[in-house]
Chain A
Amino acid sequence: MPNALEVQGLTKSYGKKLACDHVSFTIGEGEIFGLMGMNGAGKTTILRMLATLLRPDEGDAIIAGHSIVKEPDKVRANICYLPDEAGAYRSMTGRNYLRFIAGLYFEDPKAQKECVLRGEEICGLGNALSFKINTYSRGMIRKLVLARTVMTKPRLAILDEPTSGLDVLNSLDIRKSIRRCADEYGTAFLLSSHHMQEVQTTADRGAIMKDGHFLAEGTPAELLERYQANTLEEVFERAVKGV
């Protein structure tokens, strides 16, 4: 499987605080990679560097053959970033929001239209797409912003806590959408999460982070075996506590 993302020694600090310390990993096309870690572990810093919002102090990452340091513009054409608890423009209708995002990625009206149709289908909001976003529930907004993230068929979708604050059913819907888009479009996913269950059921591979380092990396099965655990929660506890 060719790599959608190759991270090489990515490093970032905020003043004296080292948020990301020479992190390296790869994600193949259509693969879902889960980043697990406590608050302040450095997950969001990695995601923001890959989304070209932060510039790394050291190292680089290659997305679809382009360097995030040297070619951020080309990288942006191949990624889609969903920030933690991201909202949408409240005065727009759901459909107009999808149209707006499609317009940022495609100049050709036909491609825009196809993209919006894809977004409508992925979010599954139906008639609610004609309503203004300020009337949406949290779950509806999350489905909409996830749809706009994947409807452009990016090589890499970067999702920061995609299901945080959602109820069980909405979380399940979101996870199914991620899996489906990875399988159908070949989009690679890098998602951060506090929910070990989410990573265990959704991700093909994952890594546990602490203080800007990767403590462990592998498929859920590999991690369970390595730490002699029954769940990823136990793996996480043992990895973080060094048990």
Chain B
Amino acid sequence: MMHLLKKELSELLTKQMLISLIVSVAVMFTLGFAMRTAVNTEDLTGDTIRLIDVDRMDFTQKVVERLEEKGYEVIDGVTFEKGMENDGWKNAVEIPAGLTDALLIRHEPAELISHTSLTTVSIMTVSMGNNTGSDAVATAIREELTAELFGSDYDYLNSPVTVSPRTYANGKSADADPSMIVSSVAMYDMFMPLVLFLLVVLTSQTIIGAIAIEKTDKTLETLLSAPVPRSRIIGAKMLAALIVALIYAAVYGIGFVGFMLFTVSSGVDMNNMNVSGAFTSMASAYKAVQDLGLEITGIGWLGVIAQLLLTLGISLTASIILGGLVEDAKGAQTASMPILFCTMFPYILTMVSDIRSMELGTRMLLYAVPFTHTFIATSCMHFHDYATFWGGLAYQAVFLIVVTAFALKLYSSDLLFVNSRTHRLRAKRKAQE
């Protein structure tokens, strides 16, 4: 077995693969770093406000002073157009003429103008720049207005009511913001499927391609006519591919951490992307997650890893079957499509909705795809849906046994060679007709 495994690994672990892995990690780290740089360039840290005070009254001056007291750096400007032209402004808040009159004399609501210059349509540029500035100016105006109208004794009017969120899960409750908990938990529920999706797609293509080459080079015939049990040949192929898959998982994990470290260290609030917000608020959310029983225990993680390995086992065995049936390397490119689709649909559905709350028919259909169970594994663990989890694990184990038995039967049968021969004969007959 070791002899075969060594050969399989030497075929799979090529220099090209190692280089591509190193490049992948480097790209992920670089992307994280680039995002930080981009973020810093955009001044999105929220402590700088470009303010155009057209009203120029005592009231608006006090608003500016209030902002500076709060630690904001207020950059004064004449017009946004000049700011764009001379200083490359991307955003600014304008206090229009007549704001003071409206608020203090006519007692009417007034408007602030939020300027944004679009040079790109990236999420970061559009969603994160100006909101913080206009919100801060609006708050400062409200506070100053309260002070002007009622005096400092009525500061409480600035926040007469506060909202205290309470979240319920697993029959427990915690005084915490549900969005904070959701984003904290969602990090696992997003990361695991992403890793699984990448692993299944990459490894299935790798192994189908490797077997197709073995068929083309006739090395598979040599191997199958050697005095080695077929189970060992398939076992070595699976184990080697699994080792490669785990190397991929580890490398992508490191790359992901690198990406997150750089982007998070920039202090960006990426709540809109549901990833980094979770990462940054993880520490404060940790207690709430524990209180709600949403934490995955050590045994729970072992179960999740077991599902991950079972899914990889199924995908690799299915790839070995598909690889055995393809004619050549060209056919290998399309042969992985069934696996790709079986992975893609549950992956996308778990991203956009909760499969467990779907109609029974749809749910059963999705549960029939073994990969679905791993995509929802962490979610099941978070919300103590052990029946679905362990049921899925058992189903995957049975599925793996069935596909392995089928693979063994295929590699012990004529099908491996008759398939290509009948195909050729059919093509020949067709050509003759």
Contact = CB atoms under 8 A, between A and B. Distances in A.
Interface in B265-316: none
Contacts of A89: 7, 10-11, 217, 219
Contact of A14 (B14, B228, B418): B418
A79 B221 contact: no
A187 B11 CA distance: 31
B225 A86 contact: no
A53 B216 CA distance: 16
A6 to B, nearest CB: 19
B224 A53 contact: yes
Interface range for B: 20 to 34
Contacts of A103: 3
B422 interface: yes
A105 B226 contact: yes
A175 B413 CA distance: 33
B222 A83 contact: yes
B417 interface: yes
Contact of B227 (A17, A86, A87, A105): A105
Nearest to B15: A91
Contact of B422 (A15, A55, A79): A15
B24 to A, nearest CB: 21
B421 interface: yes
Interface in A83-101: 83-92, 100-101
Contacts of A82: 222
Interface in A50-99: 51-55, 73, 76-77, 79-92
> Which one of A79, A85, A87, A101 has the highest number of Cβ atoms from chain B below 10 Å of its Cβ?
A87
Given A48-B417, A55-B414, A91 B218 contact: no
A53 B220 CA distance: 10
B229 interface: yes
A152 to B, nearest CB: 9
Contact of A83 (B14, B221, B416): B221
Interface of A: 14-15, 17, 48, 51-55, 73, 76-77, 79-92, 100-101, 103-105, 145
Given A53-B414, A88-B217, 14 more contacts: A14-B422, A53-B221, A54-B417, A73-B227, A76-B225, A76-B226, A81-B225, A83-B218, A84-B218, A86-B218, A86-B219, A100-B3, A105-B227, A145-B222
30 contacts: A14-B425, A15-B422, A17-B425, A51-B221, A52-B224, A53-B221, A54-B417, A55-B413, A55-B414, A73-B227, A73-B229, A76-B225, A76-B227, A77-B227, A80-B225, A81-B221, A81-B222, A83-B218, A84-B218, A86-B217, A86-B218, A86-B219, A87-B218, A88-B219, A89-B10, A90-B217, A100-B7, A101-B222, A105-B226, A145-B222
